[in-house]
Chains A and B, each alone.
Chain A
Amino acid sequence: MRLNLILYIVLIFFAIATVNSEHQYRNNYSRLDIEKKTTSELRDKKTKLEIEESDKSGNQRIQTIASEKLKMYTPNKKEVKVVR
């Protein structure tokens, strides 16, 4: 009779522990999912910035600004002096 009672209490304990563990799992899974979404959003933001950087530092853009805005040009051979 006493043994049965002990087993019954143990059973109840493990049942509650199982429910708790399942609850914890769902909670943690939900948090992990949120973190994954944040990671993805941050990565998308980083990609956007990388593309923007690539666009701003693009050779074509630099060349256009250099020639049109700053009036720069490649010197011809007569204008080049090689210093040794």
Chain B
Amino acid sequence: MINTRKKQPEFFELSKLRRRFVLIMLLSLFIALFSRAIYLQGINKDFYQKEAENRSDRTVKLHAYRGKIIDRNDNVFAVSTPIQEITVNPSVLVASAKQKNKLARLLSLSRKELEKKLQKNNKFVYLNRQLSPEKAAQIMALKIIGVLSNKKYKRFYPAKEVAAHLVGFTGIDGDGLEGVEYFSNKLLAGEPGYKKILKAEDGRIVDDLQDVKIPRDGQDIQLSIDKRLQYTAYRALERAVEKHAAMSGSAILLDAKTGEILAMTNYPSYNPNTKGKSIDFIRNRVVTDTFEPGSTIKPISVSAALESKSIKPNSIIDTSADYYKVGTSRVKDTHKYGKISVKEVIQKSSNIGAIIIGEKVEPKYLWNTLNDFGIGQKTGISFPGEVGGKLTHYKNWRKTDHQSATFGYGMSTSLIQLAHSYTVFANQGNIKSVSLLKTKDPTLGRRVISKKTSDEMLSMLESVVKDGTAELAKVNGYRVAGKTGTSKKLGPDGKYGQNHIGSFVGIAPVSNPKFVIAVMIDTPSVGSYYGGPVAAPVFSTLMAEALKIYSIPQDDFTEADELKREAKPDSII
């Protein structure tokens, strides 16, 4: 059968009318689009360009709240308080003369000064970076176009001078520059966030679009410091420095059991809330300055002698010589003591006695003991500017270095090192790590000397306060142990001059030591310059307050009365 059906074309063919219709439609569409493009990019270009400039999405930094610095009882040492930053874009500023006058008055500027800041060639000017929220609100109430207010935070230090060296301060951008603010800056600062906003040209935020990164607020830092004791220490130092017209004074109080620093202060100080801090007073001299410790080292060298069995506690030392030659120098005692016991060497702070005892100890052993007590080493609290002091290696010691080391010369220590070293006598021969942060559990110590030697030394140190050079260190109702130190200061020419440093390091209560305090008065010039009269009273005031605040039970004095018993002479050295 023949297929008679007409063959169908491969594609459907549109009618002429339809084809024209589609063509016209497409052309119209193209013309419409083309016209719109000409309208947007040609005819109305300026308007749209301005709109785009006016409203653009920007990524702005979100402030992370800086953590607080608090004491061990949650009292605030440093906190961020809101302030307002007033800025202006002079190129869009619209303000009447009356508004400008009011603005100048609120900013405490003259009209001339304000006009200088509002010069049109600037696009962004700070009018005030630290204005109170109340004043900023008054400025914003003027409704001046181009003037903006931005919330910022400023550090405030309620303890002012009392804790200034410890807490430090921040710069105008909020970064820590000194003290805890500096060394804990990363923890305190947190991490800023970012968000996308729609902003108008005059700076107004039209809309918040989205968070790009959520800010992480800084952590609070809880220090081991007790604000009450910090205050007492500062006031006691202030009195001592003023009374003796000294150059400066420093004090540190440690919890003997935990090694926590309960107070650390210096006088003169500065107010961290005000600008223009004098560079001379910024250093935390407890950790940054070193000095020759003098007699406060004697208990350590005597400990070395007892431990090495070079002497016995009841050995008799002959100090009757007028002087003892150390190199070209003649070392003397303040009085002639004659033949005295080891305890009396400490009690009366005999230099000749200390040298005689120290010479019996091998240089290596003496150096190791000093080293074990932390002399010449940083304490590990990571405080900015902390120095390690100087203790020459025994291999480089000449005879004079060996002799000088026995009574605290030829080396340098910071006050914190001295206090740290005395934790040995407060903990039956164990040295405790020092901490500036509050610790919950008692810390483990490292054994430095035996319990027997430590107890003997503590008893000797108690006699210093009871009948020796530091009677002004006594605290009513408590047994106190300690050692005075008076050292000559080296002058700029490297020679010993007429200036002295008086110091005292003490422990209380002797029956169960709880606190260690070290005090140093630099260059006392009125009255005495010895550690006993100048530094021991500061110790007494601070220790009495610490014992009272922490409700430490008073000592049983029958034990102390045993001190009266004289040790039997063993051998004369």
Contact = CB atoms under 8 A, between A and B. Distances in A.
Contacts of B159: 54
Interface string B5-42: 00000000000000000000000000000000000000
B447 to A, nearest CB: 34
Given A51-B79, A59-B228, A77-B476, A33 B208 contact: yes
B228 to A, nearest CB: 6
A50 B78 CA distance: 11
Given A54-B75, A54-B76, A47 B81 contact: yes
A84 B554 contact: yes
B79 A47 contact: yes
Interface in A21-47: 29-30, 33, 43-44, 47
Given A30-B208, A77-B476, A82-B477, A59 B76 contact: no
B322 to A, nearest CB: 38
B156 interface: yes
A47 B228 contact: no
Contacts of A80: 476
Contacts of B158: 51, 54-55, 58
B402 interface: no
Interface residues of B, number: 23
Contacts of B377: none
B477 A44 contact: no
Interface in B302-335: none
A54 B211 CA distance: 36
Contacts of A60: 231
B227 interface: yes
B305 to A, nearest CB: 36
A47 B476 CA distance: 40
A82 B81 contact: no
Given A82-B554, A84-B554, A50 B79 contact: yes
B567 to A, nearest CB: 27
A51 B232 CA distance: 20
A54 B76 CA distance: 7
B476 A82 contact: yes
Interface size class of A (residues with CB under 8 A): 10 to 19
B534 to A, nearest CB: 19
Contacts of A55: 158
B411 to A, nearest CB: 37
Nearest to A45: B82
Contacts of A44: 81-82
Contact of A47 (B80, B162, B227, B554): B80
A43 B208 contact: no
B210 interface: yes
B539 interface: no
B515 interface: no
B210 A51 contact: no
Nearest to B477: A82
Contact of B156 (A43, A51, A59): A51
A28 to B, nearest CB: 11
A55 B211 CA distance: 38
Nearest to A84: B554
Contacts of A82: 476-477, 554
Nearest to A25: B210
Contacts of B162: 59
A17 B159 CA distance: 57
B407 interface: no
Contacts of B211: 29
B81 A29 contact: no
A50 B554 CA distance: 35
A58 B65 CA distance: 25
Interface string A49-84: 011001101111000000000000000010010101
Contacts of B557: 84
Interface string B221-265: 000000110011000000000000000000000000000000000
Contact of B76 (A30, A43, A50, A84): A50
A51 B554 contact: no
A52 B477 CA distance: 37
Nearest to A80: B476
A51 B227 contact: no
B210 A29 contact: yes
Nearest to A77: B476
A55 B476 CA distance: 32
Nearest to B555: A84
B153 to A, nearest CB: 9
B224 to A, nearest CB: 18
B65 A29 contact: no
12 contacts: A47-B79, A51-B76, A51-B79, A55-B158, A57-B75, A59-B162, A59-B227, A59-B231, A60-B231, A80-B476, A82-B477, A84-B557
Given A59-B162, A84-B556, 11 more contacts: A29-B208, A29-B210, A44-B82, A47-B81, A50-B76, A51-B156, A51-B158, A54-B75, A54-B76, A59-B231, A80-B476
The 7 closest A-B pairs by CB, nearest first: A59-B231, A54-B158, A82-B477, A44-B82, A54-B76, A50-B76, A80-B476
